[in-house]
Structure 1
Amino acid sequence: MAEREKRVDSGTGQALLLSAPEPSGLPVVEPNPRGHQPGERCREPGCGDCHWDVQRFKYWLRGRLLAEGAHDAEVDKPVGAQTPGLLWRTGSRLCAIEVCSAPVHVGFALERTARLRAVGVDEVLWLCPPGFWVAQVPGVAVDDFAADGCDYRVVSGLLEAGPNGLARPREQAWTVREFMQEWVAAQVAFGYRDETAGGWATVSTWEQHTRTQAAVIAQQRQELVNQRTALALARKATRDKAKQVHKLMHRLERAEQVAEELDTARRRLADHSRVDATLRLTVERQRTAVTHWQLITCFAMLVIVAFVASAMILR
């Protein structure tokens, strides 16, 4: 072993100190080969390195929960017929954490959550990779399960109050350390911001979200009352118009009936006019014939008189 020399400035001069000898000939310690390297972000189901990362993450979470004030925290501890990844308790609260480094099946996650709640778990948190499933299960998305220095960060699944007061996805990332601190202190909770999508937000955010929703519901209720009033008035006006239309239709039917009667009378008058014209023409023809016969009779009488006169003269 070689001794190391170190010079120390004593103010008036320098002193030579001998430090502990450096060890030599010791084997070089290789880093633990298990687990992924930071930044790999493996999402393969059944990966052995991912399993190692998840287990390390669970025990890190256990330490953080105990440090933040949890009374008890155990990894893979059975509760009833279920065995969550991490079970912790503080006071009367019993919470469970499920860690999954692979994509989450929404149906399985919801069924698993329901089973845990059925055995007495109050809150269930899913720590999973980013994806569409984060908004459909009570979970948050962890960026890297093999983060350097255990600096795990939550990139989605968190909500914040928007400009209109309603909860919206949080834009800035949050560390898992901060999230666990707020969760143990009961300052964050899971809730649904619409019919299908949910997320984790602070209690103040949910209060503001609820207050805004209550105001929106009150406004919509008033609008509904106004619409119902307008609908009732419109229905009354429609009934009045329907009555008027019914009366007008009745009058129109009567007018059509009168028009038909007038048409029938016109047709009869036309028939009578044709018969009258025919009779007039017949009478005129007969009158002309009588006049002709009268002329013929007069001419015949004149001829007879002429013959009689001629006979008398010839005698």
Structure 2
Amino acid sequence: MKKFIPVEEAVGMVLCHDMTRIVPGEFKGRAFKKGHVITKEDVPQLKDIGKEHIYVLTLDDEHVHENEAGIRIATAASGKGIELSEVCEGRVNFHASHDGLLRINVEALHSINNIEDVVISTLHTNQSVKKGQAVAGTRIIPLATDEGRIKKVEELCLQSYPIVDVLPFKHFNVGVVTTGTEVYTGRIQDKFGPVIREKFEALGSTVIHQEFVSDDSEMTVAAIHKLLDSGADMIVCTGGMSVDPDDQTPASIRAAGGKVVTYGSPTFPGAMFMLAWIGKIPVLGLPGCVMYHRASIFDLAVPRILAGLEVTREDITSMGHGGYCATCKVCRYPICPFGK
């Protein structure tokens, strides 16, 4: 139960919710905290932030205050890879507790947001995030809501746990096969290797060796097997992925025993991507665009593998919606629609 009280008559009363002060371009934050006892000196400041009246709220057992609701929703929805903020103005934020792959149960999220008064907002699923990064937030819309609605959220979360989680990246020893007679013979310098090393290091993995081969399929097959024998957890083949007659990498991966998940991806850049498996070892054929585009199929597919997920053909084909890079003058990936 709640009622309005003029601020002049509220001296000595306890605020039942946080109050926000906004100075455009300078400040937005909490001016008065829930539980604050209003003094005579507070009245002018309350009026300065537009408060002519305040709520006096009396809750019964059938209603939940916004702060308690936010904590309960966040606790129910968050996985082991999430740390929760303090509740502030009814809102709780979710932060990644480690580097990894953000995973959102999108279907369950839709169901929760369909419950009246309840909101959970997240970043897009299946993107790489850093430790401490904010990835979601939750609150209720009114100052208080029915207990039954919060219980329904908790039940949905229990059935679909977790709603928001960050899967840690596993460390992979990566073997690289760089194909191309022009690189093998030294006519041009390899530019792909340094890019691949940097990308894998950013994801917590290590390139243990790089083999250079010509456009000869037998050499490529031998290089793949050599890296497998050396203990590589993943093989990445760079170059030779187009339809040119000299580009034999896809055929070489097959000849090495690769069981192909997909050759081709509905992403630009990255259409000529190949994913295969030799036993339990993923083998990737990376097109040249990975070398010079900040965001490409590499950034959509590889983090999922490093997080221990099985990447299926359906996972790849679903990337078509959002898989067209806008080639912005300044790339801000992943703060953009690519892959989402």
Q: TM-score, normalized by length of structure 1?
A: 0.26
Between structures 1 and 2, the one with greater helix share: 1
Between structures 1 and 2, the one with greater strand share: 2
Which of the two has higher C-alpha Rg? 1
